[in-house]
Structure 1
Amino acid sequence: MSGQGSGGNVIAALCNVFIPGLGQLVQGRILAALIFFLVCVAGYATWWLVVPGIIAVIAHLWAIIDAAKFRSGV
């Protein structure tokens, strides 16, 4: 992928809208994808405790922004 704002990053960000971490997986960042996914799933699963739900929403938004702003090290 080229860099910030490239078409690949837009696709990755859109993937994250539907499944947190999927955009990072598309970009080849497996560990980041796993962390974002697990934090969001755990937070959304315990939404009735309020605080984990808020953390999940923040992590979900962070995953979207992170995928959109990703610059490869190449």
Structure 2
Amino acid sequence: MTAGQGSSGNVLAAICSFFIPGLGQLVQGRPFKALIMFVLAAVLWIIWLGWIIHLWSIIDAALFKPRG
């Protein structure tokens, strides 16, 4: 059984991404997306734009809708 958007699983994933960008995607079983979020945030934090990817990671985890 998969949980839909707004589920407690998505809330937990968004909270995880709040602390570490990409962790929420990893919790949701999306390792490639998690890696992209983590690497982009890490690279962009060097030039103070990492917060953009960090926010994107949180929103993406919160709004994720599993297929099927």
When the two structures are superposed, what TM-score results if normalisation uses the length of structure 2? 0.92
CA distance in 1, matches of 2:52, 2:62: 15
Which letter does structure 2 place at the counterpart of 1:24?
Answer: Q
Alignment: residue pair count: 67
User: Residue in 1 aligned with 2:63?
Assistant: 69
| Identical residues among aligned pairs (%) | 54
CA distance in 2, matches of 1:36, 1:24: 8
Find the structure with the greater CA-based Rg: 1
Which letter does structure 2 place at the counterpart of 1:70?
Answer: F
Which consecutive residues of structure 1, in runs of 5 or more, have no partner in the other structure?
48-52
What does the per-residue CA deviation read over 1:18-61, in whole Å, with 9 as the maximum and x for residues that have no partner?
000000000000110000000011111x23xxxxx22x111110
Q: Look up the SS of the partner of 1:5 in the other structure.
A: coil
Which consecutive residues of structure 2, in runs of 5 or more, have no partner in the other structure?
none
CA RMSD in angstroms, aligned pairs only = 0.9
Which letter does structure 1 place at the counterpart of 2:51?
Answer: V
Q: Look up the SS of the partner of 1:11 in the other structure.
A: helix
Q: Which has the higher helix share?
A: 1
CA distance in 1, matches of 2:59, 2:30: 15
Aligned partner of 1:60 among 30, 44, 54:
54
When the two structures are superposed, what TM-score results if normalisation uses the length of structure 1? 0.85
Q: Which runs of 4+ in 1 moved over 4 A?
A: none
User: Residue in 2 aligned with 1:18?
Assistant: 19
